[in-house]
Structure 1
Amino acid sequence: MTMRALFKSWIERYFSDEEAVILLIVLVIGFAVVIWLGRMLAPFFTALVIAFLLQGAVNALTRRHVPHLLAVSLVFLGFIGLLLAIAFILMPLIWNQLVGLVQETPRMFAAGQQLLDGLQERYPQLVTPDQIQNWIGVAGREMTQVGQRALTLSLASLGNVLSLIIYLVLVPILVFFMLKDKDRLVGFTLSLLPQKRLLMTRIWNEMDDQIANYVRGKFIEIIIVGTVAFLTFAFFGLPYSALLAVLVGLSVLVPYIGAAVATLPVAAVAGFHFGISDQFVYVLIAYGIIQALDGNVLVPILFSEAVNLHPVSIIVAVLFFGGVWGFWGIFFAIPLATLLKALVVAWPRGIGSRERHEALETLSEE
């Protein structure tokens, strides 16, 4: 079979009917909207993700015979309470620790230079003065760039205070109405699609199971890992425990890579505070245990088989989407990879199911 015939057979197999073509158009339009209008529609997408996260709690209450409006109100009030707790308790604490860490950075830098000088004296054949100067120069340039970026971000954010306030007001309103009028919104969306949508229904069910498990499971994982890290760091008397715990908790958003990146500030703060001592080693061992338990115990319990992505697929997704959309591409790399996997898995199965359904209808008519 020639390449042209093979390609023609593939096209006829997957795009031979109206539903498949409409599905392709919907996907293209959806990705185009995210790419070109993502910043403009960011409050809507944020509210959609939050509503998706809270819908599980609403469903749990309605299954216990709580009226829908009351269930939505209770979950929404809990969400607002969590936001207020973060805004008035957690954020000031993190901000104060961040300011303290920035003020301590020169001293940490000087301590690191002394450590390198000591290594050069003890191992002159392995660590040369030129290498030390190169390391110090690289570290200095990186610290300068970080400071410049922080200054630029702070100056740029001064003009966006009003936008931030509007954002913080608009997102909760959208979340409330998405939860309250979910059936109406879903019904309106379905009314725009063809009546016969067996393929779309199968793909949607696959996507819903996978992405819902990821969003809710990842939120629980962040809370658990961050809390355990904070208690562990506080137990050892490590300074900036809240700030480091938030970094460790958020690091689980980027599997493998996030854990490696979060290790650097933890090791730097522990090394500066304790020196190269037993306490320093204990902190790193405890941090390694947290990461090991997260990867080998917590993740399998939370995600089970619903998000069954190979580590290579995860790393490729992080690299690809991070290269396309920067930070937000890294942030949403796993959901996007999960979406692509759901499409790849459900599309051929959906076509087969549709063909069997049509065959059964034909036999029943005969």
Structure 2
Amino acid sequence: MDRTPLEDIALFLRRLQWTALGVGACWLLWVLAPVLTPFVIAAMLGWLGDPLVDRLERTGRSRNTSVILVFTLMALLVVLVLLILVPLIERQITTLIVSLPSYRDWFTGTAIPWLEQRTGFEISAWLDLNHLIELVRSNWERAGGVATTMLGYLSRSGFAVMAMIANIALLPVLTFFFLRDWDVLVDRVASLIPRDHLATASRLAKASSDVLGAFLRGQFLVMITLGVMYGIGLWAVGLDLGILIGIIAGLLTFVPYLGPASGIILGVIAALVQYGDWKYVAGVLAVFGVGQVVESYWLTPKLVGDRIGLHPVAVIFAVLAGGTLFGFLGMLLALPVAAVANVLLRYAQERYTHSRLYAGDHPTILLDPASNPVSPQAEGTRAAPAADASTERAPQ
């Protein structure tokens, strides 16, 4: 139906209003990014902990008791990770810096000559490993001076120190309130949705929560489990840098093939530099082989399943784009926004495949099912065959 000029103007003004609202929201998000960061982190922690709070409530406990139990558990986990992981990584990095001359000698005396002999390229003429190693060592030795300079700058900037302390102090308080009032917040948001669109909005919100929850809860558990397995396995093999390599491989697991591939390459190099024996290389390969079997047949099916729907490339792009646009806050919001966008795109595809534009104005009539097989999509759009197929006629 043709629209009148007044209707076209009204439609244009409505679209202009929504565009202005979106631009204003992005500008406000960019301006308030430092203030909103603890709120976003607390909201994500509250969203992650709410299912466990609901489960404890179903056992007969009150909401406040369930929130206190979950909040205490989350705080203990954070403290435990900081107490164990931070000193461990620091010792591993120190070991790496001390071992850099050994890696330099192996590259210059073994790896590069081997590659030059088989490729015919003079790689050593393009790489000055001695300069690179010394550059890394000098920068690492000056790290204490850099840290002192940064602390001095922060001490001179009293507002920055106060803001940082306030954000750290607010985070547990905000997390507790988000855990306690999460269901109330969800109900209030749902009450603002127009009643005609409530069912669709609820379905899209649940799908978005399932996608994001499967990624955050499931994939992060897979990353942590594999990081621990790889680290302990490489340490048992005898690598001095085994724990650091295992952590790196575990963190990169969310990108298929990148995590195990990087871990294998780093582990093999570390084994050759430290021992120069293929027996230890075989041990490294065995550790990652067992890890891949456990991930493929138990961890991913049990913890993640097939509900993620977020391609690793989309995840990487979302995190980098969010960090570029809105800094650390953008990196925090990248995955939720990507999950919601993925669900909305699927919904748009579903609407399109059920639209007249996709299916056409006329249904497809099957003349001979045996000689004209149709796809399931066409099967859903064709007309039901009559009882006597011989009486069917194509439209003239």
TM-score under structure 2 length normalisation: 0.68
Contact between 1:222 and 1:252, CA under 8 Å: does it hold in 2?
A: yes
Gaps of 5+ in 1: 6-11, 354-366
1:57 Cα deviation from its structure 2 partner: 1.7
* Alignment partner of 1:244 is 2:245: yes
Task: Give the aligned residue type for 2:180.
Answer: K
- Cα deviation, 1:18-61, whole Å, max 9, x if unaligned, reads 9x999999877766665564444222222222222222221221
Query: Counterpart of 1:124 in 2: which secondary structure?
Result: helix
2:109 to 106, 110, 114: 114
The corresponding residue for 1:268 is 269
Higher-RCO chain (CA-CA 8 Å, sequence separation at least 6) = 1
1:233 Cα deviation from its structure 2 partner: 1.5
The corresponding residue for 2:295 is 294
Distance 2:218 2:22 in 1: 26
1:72 Cα deviation from its structure 2 partner: 0.8
Distance 1:145 1:36 in 2: 36
Higher alpha-carbon Rg: 2
Residue range with higher mean Cα deviation, 203-212 or 157-166: 157-166
Residue range with higher mean Cα deviation, 32-41 or 241-250: 32-41
* Alignment partner of 1:184 is 2:153: no
The corresponding residue for 2:58 is 63
CA spacing shift, 1:157–1:260, aligned 2, 3 Å? farther
Contact between 1:318 and 1:330, CA under 8 Å: does it hold in 2?
A: no
CA spacing shift, 1:273–1:53, aligned 2, 3 Å? farther
Query: Counterpart of 1:66 in 2: which secondary structure?
Result: coil
Query: Counterpart of 1:41 in 2: which secondary structure?
Result: helix
- Cα deviation, 1:87-135, whole Å, max 9, x if unaligned, reads 2222112212222222222332222212136526xx635355x312324
1:242 Cα deviation from its structure 2 partner: 3.1
1:352 Cα deviation from its structure 2 partner: 12
Distance 2:17 2:137 in 1: 47
Identity of aligned residues (%): 22
* Alignment partner of 1:53 is 2:54: no
In the TM superposition, 1:197-236 aligns within 5 A as 197-198=197-198, 199-236=200-237
Distance 2:306 2:21 in 1: 28
Distance 1:61 1:295 in 2: 31
The corresponding residue for 1:168 is 168
Contact between 2:315 and 2:335, CA under 8 Å: does it hold in 1?
A: yes
Query: Counterpart of 2:117 in 1: which secondary structure?
Result: coil
1:216 Cα deviation from its structure 2 partner: 1.2
Contact between 2:95 and 2:240, CA under 8 Å: does it hold in 1?
A: no
- Cα deviation, 1:187-213, whole Å, max 9, x if unaligned, reads 443455445432322221211121122
2:312 to 302, 311, 314: 314
Q: Compute the RMSD of aligned alpha carbons.
A: 4.1
Alignment length (residue pairs): 332
Task: Give the aligned residue type for 2:282.
Answer: V
Contact between 1:47 and 1:171, CA under 8 Å: does it hold in 2?
A: yes
Task: Give the aligned residue type for 1:168.
Answer: I
Gaps of 5+ in 2: 3-7, 155-159, 355-396
- Cα deviation, 1:149-200, whole Å, max 9, x if unaligned, reads 9949746753377655444332222111100111333344345544543232
CA spacing shift, 1:226–1:28, aligned 2, 3 Å? farther
The corresponding residue for 2:346 is 345
TM-score under structure 1 length normalisation: 0.73
The corresponding residue for 1:99 is 94
CA spacing shift, 1:222–1:316, aligned 2, 3 Å? closer
The corresponding residue for 2:372 is none
1:75 Cα deviation from its structure 2 partner: 0.9
The corresponding residue for 1:359 is none
CA spacing shift, 1:180–1:210, aligned 2, 3 Å? same
2:39 to 36, 39, 44: 44
Residue range with higher mean Cα deviation, 197-206 or 289-298: 289-298
CA spacing shift, 1:105–1:168, aligned 2, 3 Å? farther
Contact between 2:246 and 2:263, CA under 8 Å: does it hold in 1?
A: no
Distance 2:292 2:138 in 1: 29
Query: Counterpart of 2:126 in 1: which secondary structure?
Result: helix
* Alignment partner of 1:126 is 2:127: no
CA spacing shift, 1:294–1:72, aligned 2, 3 Å? same
The corresponding residue for 1:9 is none
1:67 Cα deviation from its structure 2 partner: 1.6
Contact between 1:23 and 1:200, CA under 8 Å: does it hold in 2?
A: no
